[in-house]
């Protein structure tokens, strides 16, 4: 690599030298140009040969996820033939499959979005303090890594609007990665996963929503569960609820020990209007919750940071 950079610098110097041809007498320019071209071709040939030699070097495969914990014995590397599915991805597939069995279509989320889909289409007024609750990152161009999968609601409503008119209902789930400007600790991460659900029909109700969510959690945890809700606030749903399940005894829970699992509610009429859906004719409900929290509860994990750590000892548990 050093040799290539040296040759390229020589070529750059030669090109600068060639610019001096204009200062020479006319009778000397032809010979000067001929010599410069010969040197240039020689350098270009050497650069091409050096780059080919670099490509031909055999590269030993390494595991870029190898654990590098301080003062801990590094585990042996996995070979390239032993790759496995990350536990979060495996559980994401399980979540999606349960909803698919209930008749939901699937639409993948984005990892870079804009303020229009992040706030404007979700009934967040300009300068509204509710925007502060979604403190996230921004690029220099003003784009936003989404802080919640709800940024996809507008796209879902528009994409499946024809299906709604033809079939009388719209049912979609949106799994995806989200980003928040969080202080990282055992229960908070700046990067995590959510799953959004959107359902619209002429006669849907909050009772239907709670039935779907209860069915999902009972299928996911493979047991009957008690549920309850309490009032919440989201600009894009009205009324808004926080959905909780009673922590199963098999997972260390006690009777009356409830855990908040997601936010949900009836889709605000303004959100439907933004997507060209008549809120007088159609009603909808939506929900969004973290995948990481589901997995932590299912496997009795106590530190969300392990998912992004690259610790092979942790990954081997799955």
Closest among 183, 124, 184 to 148, alpha carbons compared: 124
Alpha-helical segments (H) within 19-138:
26-55, 87-101, 115-118
Q: Is 183 exposed, middle or buried (0-12, 13-18, 19+ CB in 10 A)?
A: exposed
The pLDDT assigned to 240 comes to 94
The pLDDT assigned to 267 comes to 95
Cβ 285 vs Cβ 209: under 8 Å: yes
Give the pLDDT confidence of 238-283 residue by residue, as tens digits. Answer: 999 999 998 876 667 777 788 899 999 999 999 999 999 999 999 9
Euclidean distance between CA atoms 258 and 246, whole angstroms: 4
Euclidean distance between CA atoms 203 and 266, whole angstroms: 12
Give the pLDDT confidence of 71-84 residue by residue, as tens digits. Answer: 555 555 555 566 67
Candidate ranges 1-5, 24-28, 285-289; pick with highest mean pLDDT: 285-289
| Count of beta carbons in the 10 Å neighbourhood of residue 292 | 22
Euclidean distance between CA atoms 7 and 1, whole angstroms: 10
Residue reference for tokens 């010979």:
31
Cβ 265 vs Cβ 196: under 8 Å: no
The pTM of the whole model exceeds 0.85:
no
The fraction of the chain above a pLDDT of 90, given in percent, is: 35
Q: Is the dihedral of CA 260, 265, 271, 272 positive or negative?
A: positive
Point out the least confidently predicted range of 32-36, 175-179, 181-185: 181-185
Query: Which of the pair, 163 or 22, is modelled with greater confidence?
Result: 163
Give the pLDDT confidence of 192-226 residue by residue, as tens digits. Answer: 899 999 999 999 999 999 999 999 999 998 888 89
The pLDDT assigned to 98 comes to 95
Euclidean distance between CA atoms 245 and 302, whole angstroms: 18
- pLDDT above 80 for 102: yes
Going by their DSSP bridges, the two strands 105-106 and 169-179 should be labelled as parallel
Q: What integer is the mean pLDDT of 289-305?
A: 86
Closest among 250, 236, 240 to 300, alpha carbons compared: 250
- The DSSP output letter for 284 is E
Torsion of CA 87, 89, 91, 96, to 10 degrees: 180
């Amino acid at each position: 690599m050093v040799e290539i950079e040296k040759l390229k610098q020589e070529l750059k110097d030669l090109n600068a030298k060639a610019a001096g041809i204009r200062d020479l007498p006319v009778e000397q320019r032809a010979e000067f140009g001929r010599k410069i071209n010969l040197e240039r071709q020689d350098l270009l040939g050497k650069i091409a040969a050096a780059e080919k030699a670099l490509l031909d070097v055999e590269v030993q495969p390494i595991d870029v996820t190898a654990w590098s914990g301080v003062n801990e014995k590094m585990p042996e590397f996995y070979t390239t033939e032993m790759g496995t599915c990350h536990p979060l991805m495996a559980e994401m597939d399980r979540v999606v499959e349960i909803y698919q069995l209930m008749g939901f279509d699937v639409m993948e989320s984005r990892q870079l979005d804009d303020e229009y889909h992040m706030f404007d289409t979700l009934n967040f007024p300009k300068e509204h303090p509710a925007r502060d609750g979604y403190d996230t990152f921004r690029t220099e161009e003003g784009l936003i890594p989404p802080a919640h999968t709800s940024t996809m609601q507008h796209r879902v409503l528009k994409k499946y609007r024809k299906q709604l008119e033809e079939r009388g209902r719209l049912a979609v789930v949106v799994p995806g990665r989200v980003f928040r400007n969080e202080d990282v600790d055992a229960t908070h991460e700046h990067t995590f996963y959510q799953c959004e659900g959107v359902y619209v029909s002429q006669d849907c109700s909050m009772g239907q929503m709670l039935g779907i969510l209860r069915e999902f959690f009972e299928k996911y945890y493979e047991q009957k569960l008690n549920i309850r809700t309490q009032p919440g606030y989201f600009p894009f749903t009205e009324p808004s609820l926080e959905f909780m399940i009673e922590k199963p005894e098999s997972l260390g829970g006690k009777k009356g020990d409830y855990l908040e699992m997601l936010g949900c509610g009836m889709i605000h009429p303004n959100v439907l209007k933004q997507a060209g859906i008549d809120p007088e004719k159609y009603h909808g409900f939506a929900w969004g919750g973290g995948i990481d929290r589901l997995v932590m509860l299912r496997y009795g994990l106590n530190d969300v940071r392990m998912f992004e750590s690259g610790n092979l000892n942790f990954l081997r548990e799955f």
